[in-house]
Structure formats: structure tokens, C-alpha cells
A and B are shown apart, each in its own frame.
Chain A
Amino acid sequence: MTNQLEAAVLIGVLFGSGIYLCLSRRMLRMLFGFLLLSNAANLSLIAISGDPSGRRSAVVGANSPAGVAAVDPVPQALILTAIVIGFAVAAYLTVLVYRLYVDRGTANVTTLFDDKHKGGASAQAEKEGEA
């Protein structure tokens, strides 16, 4: 496990910066933060199968050496699924951020949730009631 230290550090850095970006007020940064987070999770999945050096691939071919341990294929199957799902969610998030920008004319979360220049929450509920 010790020879995977660099993977562990990388995953930690990616998770940390992903969460930092998700906490940002700017929606575009949140989008990038989510991309980093999903990649960090994917990396941690692939790191589970262990250090690949000295091991053969999980697929047995004609010239695969006998008696050599194979890399665990299950994490690879998991990560494929996770990448597809992460892609779909990232696409949705991009569209939502764009829609919020179109709806409210801002890409900043503080302005987005600021009701003052719109007349407060109750006035907003009233407008909604009349609509």
C-alpha cells in the first residue's frame, strides 16, 4: 500500500480542491469543483485495485504470462459506470447553471439568493401567487 502514496496524495488534493471550489460563490467554479470531485472519487476507485506494476491485465490473451497475478477487474468496471454517470450529471449541471444565468442574470450565488432588490421573500411569494 505504501507504494501508492502518490495516488493517495493526489486523491486528497483533488477532493480538497473540489470541495473548496464547490463552496465558492461563483457557479462556474462550483461546476469545476464538481468535476474535480467526481474525478477524485473515480481515482480512489481505481486505486483500490492496487499497484499495477508487475501484474498482468485482467483479460487473458494468447501471450499473457502464466503464474502472474492479474489486476482486479471489478474497480475498472465500477469506474466505467461512474464516469458515464458523472458525465451525465456534469452535463445537467452545466445546463442548470446556464439556465440560472438566463433566469436571474447572474452567475454568483450571493446575488442569486439576495431578495433585497426583488422586494423580500414574502413579496416574491405574493408575485408567485398571482402568477
Chain B
Amino acid sequence: MSGFFDIAGTPANLAALPIIGPIVVALFCLLAPRPALWRRILATLAFAGLLVHAICVVAHNLEHGPLILRVGGWLAPYGIVLYADTLAGVMLALSSFTALSCALFGFAETPVRDENPLRIPLLLFLLAGINLSFVTGDLFNLFVAFEVMLLASYGLMTLEVGAKESRQALPYLTLNLVGSSLFLAVAGFAYSLFGTLNFAEIAVRADALVGDYRLTLLAVLMLLVFGLKAGLFPLYQWLPGSYSMMPSPMAAFYAGMLTKVGVYVLIRIFGTVMPAELTGIHSLIAWTAGLTMVIGVLGAVGQGRVQTILSYHIVSQIGFMALAIGLHSPFAFTAAIFYITHHIVVKAALFLVGGSVTRLNGTDDLSRTGGLWRAAPWLGIGFVLQAMSLAGLPPLSGFWGKFMIIQEGFTQGQWVLVTLSLVASILTLMSMLKIWLGAFWKPAPEDRPVVTTARTRAMSAVIVGMAAVSLCIGFGAEKFVRIAKHAATETLDRAGYVERVRGSNDTLYPNKTPGAAKENPKEITQ
């Protein structure tokens, strides 16, 4: 695998590919001549290429360690660092896989001439922002990544929406605008506290501040900012309405990736950047997560539309991931990373099932759907596999993730939180049964018979493909858990992270003084 990276001379340069690649392809797509088929071919190749690249990044990590790119050759605390470790590689693979599946589903759903010419370029810009937030090594670039991602997501969200639903964009936009301003202020606060924005340097200087109330305040503010992006308990209200208004392939991509960016950042910040001594914050995360699980799943019970039910389940599942982060041990982080891997594939596929239901029944309101098991059995098989996986039935992928989280909960004696997560799982199963009975098992409404076409069969094929990937994660759980464990160990190895970001400076640039990287924390009391 290392041969792949030797082509480019300095292998570290390839850490920038997931950001530059989508932007370049997006610009080509914007300039592409009339036959939109080119746009589709180009985008498919780009997503597939990024997927292969991300898998190579993971393989490279398992063999040699992370790819670290110091942009422009500047030393670590002063320049910009791109840091692609195992966790980032896994997330990159998931983002390109989801983008590929959702784009293919969109191609199957919409004829070439009807496709909005801005959809694919915006999706690529969105992917660039998401990927930058995975590989960035400093707080301010994380802010920039979030803004690139959010601007593209605002555009994509309102691009094809009708006059009736466009109002749902307003809560999403307003909350994210407030969140962004807060993030900017928090980045400033971090800079005034540490005198740096580089993750590795913050990690070093935060250790000196353990017990200081300012560090606790900063951690709470960060939890607020990233909890908003992830959709944690009091801050999830924007999510269900805004996700259910989009065309289904785009909604599936948002549902799969966008909130998980928030979860990824929580893992990075509370695993690598912030000291492990902040146990108060960790239990705050765990308890917020417990509430998120139950309230999300209860929100889903009362809903009657497939997309809305699934949107509330995103909130609930974010709770599981955040609970694992809050438990804060190597095993819990392994569980969190494995759960994210499982969840992104399953959730995106379920949203695509929702899109197929809307297409076949003309609506996704469960009181007026039905007959799909007879008309589209493959779609039904895809749905059953993914829904059972989401609820956590063995041996599907969701079971292993939940099993590990609950096991860690027992080990740490968190009985209440474990009970909450089991209740949430049972209620998830109920919601999935509701969709199954409403859309698949019940006979079709007599006034609207279900008609399958080549398009709907192609859409089902994409869903079955994703179900196959999800099955692989379930049956090959051992291998995936090993990768997740490697990623978790790396994430929690704060000293190693600092050493890798800093230390290789001396070997790369022997002429520079190694002491330059070690500057005292900026005094703010003066």
C-alpha cells in the first residue's frame, strides 16, 4: 500500500487530496458543457477515487502511522497542519462512500436532463468542507471547514426545495449562524488562553491548566458548539424538520454525514486535545447523551412520515455515540468509532429507502403507503436488514456497536445510562416495525397501485448494495473493531499525537532550532 503513496514524492501531500480533489472536480462540473452525463461520470469517478484514497490512508496508517502535512513547510505551532490518522481515514472513507451511494441513487432517481446543474457541484463542495474538518490539525481551520461545509449545505438544502417547505431552512440556518458566531468566539478564547490554535500545542498547554476554571469553561463552550452541530439533547430541534424537506438522496447524505462531523470533532477534542482529567465534562456528555437517546426515540414514536421518523432516530443514535465518548476509555472510544462506521452506512441507506417509498407510493406518509413487499421485495430485504441493524439485532453491525457501548457502561457501573440505552433500542425496533407494517406489509391503497420501473429497480439496487456493505461490517466485525481499536488508541494517545506533530519537524528541518516549537503559554493575566 505504501507504494501508492510513493508516486507523489512526499506521501504527506496526499493528506490534502480529499480537500483539493472535490473542489477541483466541482469547478470542472460547474464548467462542464451541456450534456450533463459528463458531470455524472466525473462525479462518480471522483467519489470512487476518494474512497480508494481513503482506504489507502487507513492501510498506510495501520502499517506506517499517520500522514502529516505541514502546509508550506512551516513549523507545527505556526503553520497549518493536516493530520490524517486512522480515525480521519475511516471518516474520509465513510464520507466518500456515502457521497458515492447517494449520488448513484440520485442518478437512478432523476433522468439526466432533469437534474439540477448545481446539485453535484454543491455536493462536492460540501464533501470538501467535511473532509477538511476530518484532516485539519488546528482549531481555526476547523472553523473554516465548518463554514465551507455549512455554506454548501445551506445552498444544497434550499436548491430544489418547493415553496411549501422552504421555511424549514430558516431554523437550520439561524441556529447554525448563532453556532458559528459562538465557535468563532470560542476559537478566540482558546487562542487567548493557550496562545496557539494548533491541536497538538493546545494539548500540551492545556495539561498545565488542569483545574483552572477557564479550561473548564472552554470545554463547556466547545461541547455547546459541537453538540449543536451533532444534534445533542437540548440542541436538536433544527434537525428533524430540515432533513425531511430535502430530496431523498441529499437528505440521506446529510443524515449520514453532517451530524457525524460534530461527533467526530467531539471525539477529537475530548480524546486528543483536551486533557483526560476533565471527568466532570465527560459525565456531562454521558448524561446529555442518555437524554438525547430517549428523547430522540420518543420524538420518533409520534411521527407518521418515514423521513421524519428516521430524522428523530438520528438524534437518538447520536446519543449512543456521545455516550461512548462520555464514558471516555479506550474501549468506549473503540465502540464509538465502530458505531459511527455502522451508523453512517445504515442511516444513509434507510433514508434512501424512504426516498424509494416516496417514489413508489407517491408519499411517505405511513397511513397512505403499502404494498411494497409484494411490488419490490429487494427493497424490502434491504430495509429489513438495515432496520434490524439500526435496532441492534445480532449478528448485524448495530448489535456489535451497542454491545460494546453497553458492556463498557456495565464495567463503569453506569446502570441508569445502560437502562436508558436499552429502552431506546426497544423503542427503535418499534418504530422500524411501524415503517415495515405501514409501507411494506400492508396492502397497497386501491386508488394508487404500486408501479415499479427500471428506475425504481436501480434505486433498490443501490440500497441492496449498501445493505451488503452493512452486512460485511456486521459479519466482519472483528476486522472493523481492530481498525476502530487502532484509531481509538491513536486518538487517546495524546503524547504520541504531540510528538508526531512536533517531533518530526526536527528530522524534516534539521536546520531550524527544535526549541522554537516550545514557547511558553501566553500570559493573559497581564
Contacts and interface: CB of A to CB of B under 8 A. Distances in A.
A83 to B, nearest CB: 10
A100 B170 CA distance: 9
Given A1-B524, A126-B363, A103 B147 contact: no
A37 B144 contact: no
Given A89-B151, A125-B363, A99 B158 contact: yes
B49 interface: no
Interface in A32-78: 34, 37-38, 40-42, 44-45, 48, 74-75, 78
A124 B178 CA distance: 30
Contacts of B524: 1
Contacts of B363: 125-126, 128-129
Interface in B128-170: 140, 143-144, 147, 150-151, 154-155, 158, 162-167, 169-170
B218 interface: no
Interface residues of B, number: 43
A122 B158 CA distance: 22
Contact of B144 (A1, A85, A100, A113): A85
B16 to A, nearest CB: 18
Contacts of A1: 524-526
A96 B181 contact: no
B519 to A, nearest CB: 12
Contacts of B192: 48
A129 B144 contact: no
A96 B421 CA distance: 39
Interface stretch (B182-190, B407-415, B424-432): B182-190
B177 to A, nearest CB: 5
A41 B166 contact: no
Contact of A127 (B140, B143, B164): B164
B362 interface: yes
A129 B174 contact: no
Contacts of A37: 177-178, 181
Interface in A79-131: 81-82, 85, 88-89, 92-93, 96, 99-100, 103-104, 109, 112-113, 122, 124-131
Nearest to B154: A92
Contacts of B272: none
Interface in B339-374: 358, 362-365, 368
Nearest to A48: B192
Given A30-B174, A37-B178, A103 B167 contact: yes
A104 B362 contact: no
Contacts of B188: 41, 44-45, 48, 75, 78
B107 interface: no
A109 B170 CA distance: 9
Contacts of A99: 158, 166
A7 interface: no
A81 B167 contact: no
A30 B175 CA distance: 11
Given A78-B140, A81-B144, A103-B166, A88 B151 contact: yes
Contacts of B362: 129-130
Interface residues of A, number: 43
A109 B171 CA distance: 10
B427 to A, nearest CB: 23
Given A89-B151, A103-B163, A112 B177 contact: no
B210 interface: no
B520 to A, nearest CB: 14
A129 B155 CA distance: 24
A74 B191 contact: yes
A42 B184 contact: yes
B368 to A, nearest CB: 7
A128 B164 contact: yes
A113 B155 contact: no
B147 A85 contact: yes
Contacts of A130: 362
A104 B167 contact: yes
B56 interface: no
A100 to B, nearest CB: 6
Interface string A7-20: 00000000100110
B384 interface: no
A112 B192 CA distance: 42
Contacts of B169: 96
Contact of B365 (A38, A85, A104, A129): A129
B162 A128 contact: yes
A22 B178 contact: yes
A41 B155 contact: no
A41 B189 CA distance: 10
A38 B170 contact: no
A92 B151 contact: yes
Given A22-B178, A48-B191, A92-B151, A100 B368 contact: no
Contacts of A88: 151
Interface of B: 140, 143-144, 147, 150-151, 154-155, 158, 162-167, 169-170, 173-174, 177-178, 180-182, 184-185, 187-189, 191-192, 197, 304-305, 358, 362-365, 368, 524-526
Given A99-B158, A128-B165, 13 more contacts: A27-B170, A37-B178, A40-B185, A41-B181, A74-B191, A78-B191, A82-B143, A85-B151, A93-B177, A126-B363, A127-B164, A128-B162, A129-B362
Q: Which 10 A-B pairs have the closest CB atoms?
A: A129-B363, A41-B184, A103-B163, A37-B181, A45-B188, A48-B192, A41-B181, A85-B147, A41-B185, A112-B167
16 contacts: A37-B178, A41-B182, A41-B184, A41-B188, A48-B188, A48-B192, A74-B197, A82-B184, A89-B154, A92-B173, A93-B173, A103-B164, A128-B165, A128-B363, A129-B365, A130-B362
